[in-house]
Structure 1
Amino acid sequence: MLRQRRLFLKLSLVLGSLWIYVLLHRPKAAWDPTYMLRYSWLEYTDDDGGPVKVCNCSEILRGEREALEQAKLLTITKDFHKNVQIPDEYYINATQDCRNFKRSRKYLTFPLSQEEEDFPLAYSIVVHHKVQNFERLLRAIYAPQHFYCIHVDKKSDASVLSAITGIVSCFPNVFLVNRTESVVYAAWPRVQADLNCMGDLYKISTKWKYFINLCGQDFPLKTNLEIVRMLRSLNGGNSLESERMVDAKRWRFSYVHNITNGSIQFTGVLKEPPPFNIPILSGNAYIVVNRGFIRSVLEDKRVLALMEWSKDTNSPDEFLWATIQRLHGVPGSTWPNPKYDMTDMNAIARVVKWMWHEGEEGSEQAVYPECQGDHVRAICVYGAGDVQWLIEQHHLFGNKFDTERDPIAVFCLEKYLRQKALAELR
């Protein structure tokens, strides 16, 4: 009996070794048909709640009139809005159990491909309200190989800070900025908020390849794999608006501006010319830049002098990055010659619909079709009717989205991106 047991044990060990050998040495299939089934739980479905129960996102994405009219009616219905809003208290309570929070919110907690894992990114997100907007943005761009610095405005409500702190605590690669600012619209603190995150991200890891700054009302128009491939195609270059400054905007940096009672004020006092006779160019706050660009922002004496000079200007975020992008020696920069000018429509960083550039299809003056949502500060807050146009653009992100004004635009877009990302597993 003892001999039989020993023989059985030896046979089991041999068979076990053979099985391990087969597993380790079997040829890798290009596509495992069971792979998608294992991760089908990550798809967004009607059971997740939200407007997809009553809206046909596929038809909305195709721009079908009946679906868009239904979506428009829902956005003015109080009960509908009440049912799809997520209060700050939900996030405060739900993030007490991080494992369940990530599972129930269907976060992608593993890289979807080796290509993505090998190309980590750094994100700065400046937020001051609308936690649901922020959380959906984070979920849409989250990947464990990336790094995320979150700046919450000092003026934010306590519930906003508590909710975002709870969300951040659930992810090892997401963190709150070390130093917060009281952000003032069109003033230096808005730039400083991004600078604080740039410094933290630069120190936290040497692995990330590109930096992208966002605000809480941005949303991606591409999957992470698409973003990675578009950034690789830049071959180390940067992508941001940077073009000749029109005369109508020169007053912003030609005169001293002070912050008084939480807003920026024109003083009428002329400023000295920029340091090193740097030509000032026009741009916007949002950029896609390589790691070397961030090093220059933090260390280059010309850039440091330019930033110090910019602190008492109006809307410094709308010329600072554009100007740095044209400085000789900054990694990924281009020459200041007008031939290298880049508009916001050509850059991939962000697509924004400005009221005065909208128009009917076929209009020679129009840059893009009319906004299908509302306008805030002359910027389109996208509606469901804008989604078809948005996914046709080459930009990585769109601005602005607001789940309180039109949740359908965000929900259909995030469902579309998740389905696309999971399909890319093939």
Structure 2
Amino acid sequence: MVLRGLSRLTWLKQVILFFAGGFFLYFATEETYLALKEKKDNLSEMLLSSAKIDCLKTIRGDAEEPKDAYLQHFKRRKSKTPLSEDYFLNITKDCKTYRTIRKFISFSMSKEEQEFPIAYSMLIHEKIEMFERLLRSIYAPQNIYCVHVDEKSSEPYKEAVRSIISCFNNVFVASKLERVVYASWSRVQADLNCMEDLLKSNVQWKYFLNTCGTDFPLKTNAEIVKTLKLLNGKNNLESMQAPPNDSRWLFHHEVQTAVFRTNKRKTLPPISIPMFSGSAYIVVTREFVKYICENEEIQKFLRWGEDTYHPDQHIWATINRIPEVPGSIPYSPKYDVSNLHSIARLVKYVFEEGDVFKGASYPPCTGTHQNFICIYGFGDLLWLLRKHHLFAHKFDPAVDDMVIQCIEEHLRHKTLYKTEM
């Protein structure tokens, strides 16, 4: 009855109740409530920021709200300053207060979630606030998180990451860090490093999901768990038939500050099936991870792929079609899975945008583009939330913070009240 009553309050009263009594009920300790009161200035600032946009109206389809939100966005865009490394170094000196003020969930929200822990790798290199918001949005105490910090990241950034991680016993930095070069093997190796570390942990996680610093979830932890259970031991990732003579793996590539193709032809891949194309993002079982880390034939294939171009876009897609690999699918073309049909990641590519009534894969990006990929804007919000994917790529608060803010509010509301906004 109380929760149904809450839904009849005005939006502002809901927010106030959430930060005061709602938080008290949620964490169920007087100490937490007092800590929140002591940090009222911080909370007021957060409340003021949230009140600028009515995410509820937008998600419910109010046609005028996006226009109003954009006007407010442009007015405050120049003055908005992202949280810095120094901010996190200071606030994490008191981990208990930090976890409370930054609204991290402190206990399992259901028995089903408690009994189905998930392992994450998080590959990051910049934008400390975005990393922290991603971690907070997917954090659950029963899960485990391996954070791979790019070796070439700044020292203040690395220090701030370590400071944040020190406040959690289920989050750790990968034991081996790579200097990641775009489109090189280092991207795959970073995930492999985390896989090996996660297998050594005491947490008996069920599935492995990999993320990067520009990803953001579209589902709550409870929804992710339900989706993974429905896979029933199968993996899920993009995997499509690839051209037979693809230069990405036909030629040897050299890695410097970028990846360069040479004229030296490679040997054929040491596998008995064709090559497949996909993406870096995967949803795979614990058994899959264990198998690829231990099986000698898979290890040969991995070593063969080290000098290919964008190996993250064919290594996982191909391994998941090998019959003996746990959770794999047959390599018949009838089993091909596009990025729009997988659950791993929702991505808008510029060359597939356009008028969906004329055959385009999706409507135009309302943010901007980087490497031919859409960095989402506020106008993409409803499209994102209506998709079945677990995560979307990519987001940048410097491009549009509102879309991230509204997804955060949406997921938090569903987590706490088990209902849509």
Q: SS state of the match for residue 277, structure 2?
A: coil
TM-score, with structure 2 as normaliser:
0.88
- Aligned partner (choices 359, 367, 373) of residue 361 of structure 2: 367
Is contact 2:413-2:419 (8 Å) kept? no
Q: SS state of the match for residue 284, structure 2?
A: strand
Q: Which runs of 4+ in 1 moved over 3 A?
A: 31-37, 44-47, 62-65, 73-77, 79-84
Distance 1:153 1:276 in 2: 31
Do structure 1's residue 266 and structure 2's residue 264 form an aligned pair? Answer: no
Provide closer, same or farther for how the CA distance between residues 425 and 374 of structure 1 changes in structure 2, counting only shifts above 3 A.
closer
Distance 2:329 2:117 in 1: 24
TM-score, with structure 1 as normaliser:
0.87
Tell me what 1:397 maps to.
391
Tell me what 2:380 maps to.
386
Structure 1, residues 279-322: CA drift from partner, whole Å, max 9, x if none?
Answer: 21001000000001101110112210100000010000000001
Tell me what 2:250 maps to.
254
Residue type at the aligned position of 1:301: E
Is contact 2:119-2:205 (8 Å) kept? yes
Tell me what 1:128 maps to.
125
Tell me what 2:334 maps to.
339
Tell me what 1:156 maps to.
153
Judge which range, 158-167 or 211-220, deviates more. 158-167
Give 1:232 shift: 0.3
Residue segments in structure 2 that go unaligned for 5+ positions in a row: 7-20, 28-32, 37-41
- Aligned partner (choices 300, 311, 316) of residue 306 of structure 2: 311
Judge which range, 271-280 or 226-235, deviates more. 271-280
Give 1:64 shift: 3.3
Residue type at the aligned position of 1:287: I
Q: SS state of the match for residue 299, structure 2?
A: helix
Provide closer, same or farther for how the CA distance between residues 82 and 246 of structure 1 changes in structure 2, counting only shifts above 3 A.
farther
Tell me what 2:410 maps to.
416
Structure 1, residues 309-350: CA drift from partner, whole Å, max 9, x if none?
Answer: 000100000000011101111111011111111111111000
Tell me what 2:350 maps to.
355
Residue type at the aligned position of 2:321: R
Distance 1:206 1:294 in 2: 14
C-alpha RMSD of the superposition:
2.4
Do structure 1's residue 39 and structure 2's residue 26 form an aligned pair? Answer: yes
Distance 1:133 1:171 in 2: 18
Provide closer, same or farther for how the CA distance between residues 74 and 160 of structure 1 changes in structure 2, counting only shifts above 3 A.
farther
Q: SS state of the match for residue 88, structure 2?
A: helix
Do structure 1's residue 204 and structure 2's residue 191 form an aligned pair? Answer: no
Provide closer, same or farther for how the CA distance between residues 32 and 146 of structure 1 changes in structure 2, counting only shifts above 3 A.
farther
Is contact 1:258-1:264 (8 Å) kept? yes
- Count of residue correspondences: 392
Give 1:39 shift: 1.6
Distance 1:139 1:220 in 2: 11
Distance 2:292 2:78 in 1: 43
Do structure 1's residue 145 and structure 2's residue 142 form an aligned pair? Answer: yes
Superposition map of 1:221-232 within 5 A: 221-232=218-229
Give 1:45 shift: 8.0
Is contact 1:108-1:142 (8 Å) kept? yes
Give 1:403 shift: 1.1
Give 1:206 shift: 5.1
Larger radius of gyration: 1
Give 1:164 shift: 0.7
Q: Percent identity?
A: 42
Tell me what 1:73 maps to.
71
Q: SS state of the match for residue 284, structure 1?
A: strand
Residue type at the aligned position of 2:349: W
Give 1:74 shift: 3.9
Is contact 2:117-2:203 (8 Å) kept? no
Is contact 1:75-1:405 (8 Å) kept? no
- Of structures 1 and 2, the one with the larger relative CO (CA 8 A, separation 6+) is 1
Give 1:67 shift: 2.1
Distance 1:373 1:205 in 2: 42
Superposition map of 1:316-327 within 5 A: 316-327=311-322
Distance 2:325 2:374 in 1: 33
